[in-house]
Amino acid sequence: MLSSADTDLVQQVLHSKGYVIDGGNFPISRPDRATMALVTRTGIPVVAKLYPSGGEIAYANMQELWCSSFGERRRPPGLPRPLDYLPDVGVLIMERIEGRPLVEIGTLDVNILDEAVHLVASLHSCDAQPSKRRDSRRIIRSVRRKAERIAELAPKFAGSIWAVVEALEEEQVEDLELLPCHGDFSPRNILVAPNRLVLIDWDRLQRADPTRDIAYIGTWCWVWALRQGRPPDWFVLDRVVGTYNSLRPEALIEARLRFHIAAGLVRIAHSLVELWREDAYLVPQLATEALYQLR
């Protein structure tokens, strides 16, 4: 979280650049990434997202996408227009699209979910050229790093997480295609506006197996139910897979789905331990489900 001194500095820099605060922070955000509503000197509404690190990557990714068939050439564009990056304070400025993240809406609307799958399929088919590549070998290495961090911060969970890492190494899959992928495709990053959807938070854009995006939204929703005290189920995953298969049947995502579900569960377990520690007690349950998926 930003200290009051950091917040004051950010606001001073924004003011010097001609931006005026236009309301409070947005409620759904990572604890380390505040998001503020602003207006320019001419009254144009924009959004400022604060990055402790990696903001320049997110901005570059958005610029790459904006110039692609997923951005300004798409009707409507699949992301907000990137406008500026202020490196001194790690602030990314982008077009403000009036809407709410899907996770805030409450009852899941399957029509919106289907539209979101159409949107991510459009991303997977676009001509953007992400600078990063994430194949299954790199995913295994990333999972190992997350397991090491979990063991460091919460040693009592180390055994269950390392069991998943070992199972993932045995299950490593072949990547049939590596395409532009969001990397964090979840209801938190699907912005629902009155007449369109857009995807937000682009720091994880990379060329990857599209199965990763499809598996992650279902996995995220499964864990979100747990965090809300509800019985988890895989309805969202089943719906998303069915819709995606109708759009890109050649992707053959079922063959690699379980691998990416398990990897996503480890990734979310790491986030709970690192950022949402009040929910870290769920880590063993996530590990158990990951092992079940890999059987």
- Tell me what pLDDT residue 52 has: 85
Reduced 3-state DSSP string for the chain: CCCHHHHHHHHHHHHHCCCEEEEEECCCCCCCCCEEEEECCCCCEEEEEECCCCHHHHHHHHHHHHCCCCCCCCCCCCCCCEEEEECCCCEEEEECCCCEEHHHHCCCCHHHHHHHHHHHHHHHCCCCCCCCEECHHHHHHHHHHHHHHHHHHCHHHHHHHHHHHHHHHHHCCCCCCCEEECCCCCHHHEEEECCEEEECCCCCCEEECHHHHHHHHHHHHHHHHHHCCCCCCCHHHHHHHHHHHHHCHHHCCHHHHHHHHHHHHHHHHHHHHHCCHHHHHHHHHHHHHHHHHHC
- Tell me what pLDDT residue 29 has: 56
Cα–Cα distances in Å, from 108 out to 112, 187, 261, 283?
8, 10, 21, 25
- Tell me what pLDDT residue 26 has: 61
**Extents of the domains making up the chain:** 4-96, 101-294
Q: Judge residue 219's burial from the number of C-beta atoms within 10 Å of its C-beta, 0-12 exposed, 13-18 middle, 19 or more buried.
A: buried
Distance CA 279, CA 288 (A): 16
- Tell me what pLDDT residue 261 has: 98
Q: Dig out the tokens for 160 from the structure.
A: 């269950």
Q: Does domain 4-96 have CATH number 3.30.200?
A: yes
- Tell me what pLDDT residue 44 has: 92
- Tell me what pLDDT residue 9 has: 84
Homologous superfamily assigned to 101-294? Aminoglycoside phosphotransferase (APH), C-terminal lobe (3.90.1200.10)
The two most distant CA atoms of the chain are separated, in Å, by 58
Contact (Cβ atoms closer than 8 angstroms) between residue 189 and residue 203: no
Distance CA 262, CA 59 (A): 29
Distance CA 235, CA 233 (A): 6
- Tell me what pLDDT residue 8 has: 78
Termini Cα distance of the chain: 39
> Can you give the pLDDT of all 295 residues of the chain as single tens digits?
555 557 778 888 998 998 988 875 565 556 667 888 999 988 999 999 999 888 999 999 999 999 999 999 999 999 999 999 999 899 999 999 999 999 998 888 999 999 999 999 999 999 999 999 999 999 999 999 999 999 999 999 999 999 999 999 999 899 999 999 999 999 999 999 999 999 999 999 999 999 999 999 999 999 999 999 999 999 999 999 999 999 999 999 999 999 999 999 999 999 999 999 999 999 999 999 999 999 9
Distance CA 231, CA 87 (A): 43
- Tell me what pLDDT residue 246 has: 98
Cα–Cα distances in Å, from 183 out to 41, 145, 201, 221?
34, 17, 9, 15
Domains 4-96 and 101-294 share a fold: no
